[in-house]
Each structure stands twice: as structure tokens, then as C-alpha cells.
Amino acid sequence: MKKIILFASGSGSNAEKIIRHCQENKNIEVVRVYTNNPTAKVIDRAKNLHIPAEIFNRQDFNDGKLADKILQDAPDLIVLAGFLWKFPETIIKNFPNKIINIHPALLPKYGGKGMYGMNVHQAVLDNKEMETGITIHYVNENYDEGAIIFQKSVTIEDCSTADEIADKIHILEHQYFPEVIEKLLT
């Protein structure tokens, strides 16, 4: 049985899709969800799906306490699903090429600090891009610079708002993120 832990900071729609996908696959198990946001909707989503959710603060994240807990979980893969903090090098070094993230654009475009969620979609719209997409990549010590695992594009010529772009990106995320995770673990 392959074990996954998820990190999320917000609503957790991607985390829920991943959990549900893994619950249908008897070879992969989500063992825990970690969040840095005590009011994140991902907490309720995880609990409703019988997955333990744990809240942590920046000190635990940076001083090694959380790294120790992650080592106890012994995950085969750490998945960032809407997690906004930069991952500490101590955790990255303990799990080389075992931490992945999803980004709501076609990296290297629209990546880096501050480029997440609606910030990305608005920048894509402002630059009058004809397409955008998702990038699933390994996490390294820099924002959005890890090796690319998978990209999928979508045309946005018919989109006139950042919300319309976000809707198209969510469809791609929900379809492809669980599938890519499964392929990485088999």
C-alpha cells in the first residue's frame, strides 16, 4: 500500500478529488491532511472522508517538528494541493523527488512568489493569453521551479474574466491531478 499525505491551505477541492480517487484505488491511501489554516474548508472535507486533518503553525513548519511528524507518517508521496507556503529545505531533503505540487498555469509562465490562484488567472487574462493550463511539478527550494512532471493546456479565447479561467483550470486539476499521482506511485 502506497501512502500519501496532503497539504492544503484553502477549500480543499483538489484534496477531496485526490482522496476520493485513492479510496477507489486499493493500492494508494491518503493517511493525513495537513493545513496551516485553522479555518480551511479542507479540514471538514478530510474529516467527512474519514482522513485525519492536522493544523500546524509556521514555527512547527520551520523548526523541524512537522518534519518529524511527516517522517512518522512515512509517505511515499507528499502532495501539495493548494498549499501556499514555501516548503522548508529540511523536508525537501528528506523526501527528494517525493513532493509534488500543482500550479494553475503553464510553468515557467506565471510562477513564483505571489503567483497562486486568482493572482495567476488575472495575470493570464491581463496579458491576453490565448491558452493557459496546469503544471504538476516536483517541489524544490524555489517557488514553482521544480522539474515538470505533467502539463495540460486549455484554450481561454472565450474567457472574459479571471473567474471563467479559474473554472476551466479547476476542471483540468480535478481530472488530471489524481491520475498523475496514481501513475507516479505505480
Indicate which residues carry an active-site annotation: 103
Q: Are 147 and 135 in contact (CB under 8 A)?
A: no
Q: Measure CA of the first residue to CA of the last residue in the chain; give whole Å.
A: 10
Q: What are the angstrom distances between the C-alpha of 121 and each of 56, 87, 145, 160?
A: 28, 23, 19, 11
Q: Are 4 and 80 in contact (CB under 8 A)?
A: no
Q: Which three cell numbers stand for residue 111?
A: 510562477
